[in-house]
Structure 1
Amino acid sequence: MTTNAPRPDVLRYTAFSTDPDGGNLAGVVLDAGDLDDADMLAIAAELGYSESAFLTAPPEGLDGRAYTIRFFSPKAEVSFCGHATVATAVALAERTGPGELVFATRAGTVPVEVAEEGGVLRATLTSVEPHVEEVADADLAEALGALGWPVADLDPAFPPRIAFAGARHLVLAAATRARLADLAYDFAGLEALMHRLDLTTVQLVWRESSTVFHVRDPFPVGGVVEDPATGAAAAAFGAYARELGLVPEDAVLTLYQGEDLGRPGELTVTLRAGDPRVRVSGAGARIG
């Protein structure tokens, strides 16, 4: 950004909630054309949210309501962020109306549809094609050691995996709600492992019922102890649960996140038979 260029408007939104005290906060810059990487990182660090989103013109070949979107945590750029995508889509819909949007991300093209339901704007993103891979025993042991979780505290029905739907997440399932609630981890140790495995968060899960889950996401690589509501991890978890046969190929899952932080949010994950991509939906709202 040149010294004479005006600073763009930095909007503040919450995603996966309509309550300013719930969901996950995101900075949104709808016109970042005059910003360079250092400017975007500085704005994200100043806000201190887990991620902020920056819009510029779309690449050639994308028409309609299309944009290039980039995501920055306070520490670094990330390939994809679900909650900032939802926040940005809601911000655009408030200005130009509900409908279809297309975002070009580092991870690939992400369509988003915004609809108004009872006066509330809800955005549904469609992930890039996901995949799931094994996690090495030594890496799993290192992760559990950093978390302070004994192997016996894992749910044996949900084997550990690394899942991707725009970003990589290590999925670990707790056997009890109490285990999930008790989170005090080695920040530096987990951060080092996550950098080595190219992980964005660790997706910690507890199953309440066949379609309802409670989740938490440590995010030390972003400079944040915990992410309050994580759309990218929700998409990855949907792909994981389907591939391992833990849910039907056609399913609608509800993920509750942020309760243990005092910022409750709700994420809806939709799986469709015959379509490998995962849909993640949630509300969003501007905050003061």
Structure 2
Amino acid sequence: MIDEVTRVAAFCAGEKGGNPAGVWIGSTWPEAAQMQAVAAQVNYSETVFAVRADNGWRVRYFSPESEVPFCGHATIALGAVLALQQGDGVFPLTTNHVSITVQGTRTADGVAASLQSPPTSSAPVPQTLIDEALVLFGYTAADLDPRLAPALANGGAGHLIIPLNSRAALAAMRYDLDAGRMLMLREGFATIALVHAGSAQRFHARNPFASGGVYEDPATGAAAAALAGYLRDADWPHGGAIDIVQGEDMGVPCHLHVDIGPEPGSSVQVSGSARLIG
């Protein structure tokens, strides 16, 4: 199976960066243990497995340590591979929990893809959890952005969003992997999204992914969807779209674009470019 995995960098910043994902497409499902073993061998933050079903594809996502409900950058990678194999199109996908779509388009520079996320939602964070997260990352309440409260947000997977008041605070992010894993698994977080609003429509982000055994994810489409839904709920002046720069502090620049419709709770569209690895 490992030889059947296509490696793709999703959400590239031009010809650089991008978050690598594995893409496996087959005619029948392997055992879950096999998929988990392949994801561990590939050793990217996620590998997506897809099997033809009805008029679309049934998909499952695995990190090196566990199955995850949804992964944005692996979905973008899958859309790119499907476009290269079958031509440009919109491909219906069914995850373990919801039906979504991904559109793949071949371009002069490579491949672009856009996913239509699951529905979004957000809620306030208990103060005790905010305090625990600040201690984990070595922050204090003075590092928080007073314009945006921390939030519990979902765009296909659960995330804790912590808005910071400076780019320097974001760059200083450090934490203990085991302590982060315990917190994220206990609370059901896919990642913790640390973000800084450089402007109303441009955000910088870092996403610890300790729940999947990964210290930091260079581009996180699911968290981008969750953030966008939260900004809509918070009446943030996003103007209908935001851009997210991620991975810079890892030396892996990534760019995510999110279009945000006006209807509360509706899905958002997360877009980016992709390139094959090797």
Q: Identify the residue that residue 143 of structure 1 maps to in structure 2.
A: 133
Is the aligned partner of 1:252 residue 2:241?
yes
Moved runs in structure 1, 4+ residues, more than 4 A? 18-21
Match for 1:201 among 191, 195, 201?
191
- For 1:7 and 1:33, the matched residues in 2 are separated by 15
Q: Identify the residue that residue 35 of structure 2 maps to in structure 1.
A: 40
Distance 1:9 1:174, change over 3 A: same
Q: Which runs of 5+ in 1 are unaligned?
A: 1-5
Deviation at 1:9, TM superposition (A): 0.6
- For 1:185 and 1:7, the matched residues in 2 are separated by 32
Q: Identify the residue that residue 169 of structure 1 maps to in structure 2.
A: 159
Q: Identify the residue that residue 78 of structure 1 maps to in structure 2.
A: 68
- For 1:83 and 1:191, the matched residues in 2 are separated by 21
Match for 2:98 among 105, 108, 111?
108
Is the aligned partner of 1:284 residue 2:274?
yes
**What amino acid is the match of 1:261?**
M
**What amino acid is the match of 1:57?**
R
**What amino acid is the match of 1:264?**
P
- For 1:89 and 1:57, the matched residues in 2 are separated by 14
**What amino acid is the match of 1:50?**
S
Q: Does the 8 A contact of 1:107 with 1:128 survive in 2? A: no
Once superposed, what is the RMSD of the aligned Cα atoms?
A: 1.6
Q: Does the 8 A contact of 2:9 with 2:77 survive in 1? A: yes
- For 2:14 and 2:48, the matched residues in 1 are separated by 20
- For 2:2 and 2:248, the matched residues in 1 are separated by 35
**What amino acid is the match of 1:45?**
A
**TM-score of the two chains, using structure 2 as the length reference:** 0.95
Distance 1:34 1:7, change over 3 A: farther
Deviation at 1:8, TM superposition (A): 5.6
Match for 1:264 among 253, 268, 275?
253
Match for 1:222 among 207, 212, 215?
212
Q: Does the 8 A contact of 2:155 with 2:222 survive in 1? A: yes
Q: Identify the residue that residue 3 of structure 1 maps to in structure 2.
A: none
- For 1:215 and 1:7, the matched residues in 2 are separated by 31
Question: Identity over aligned residues, as a percent?
Answer: 38
Distance 1:7 1:174, change over 3 A: closer
- For 1:223 and 1:7, the matched residues in 2 are separated by 20
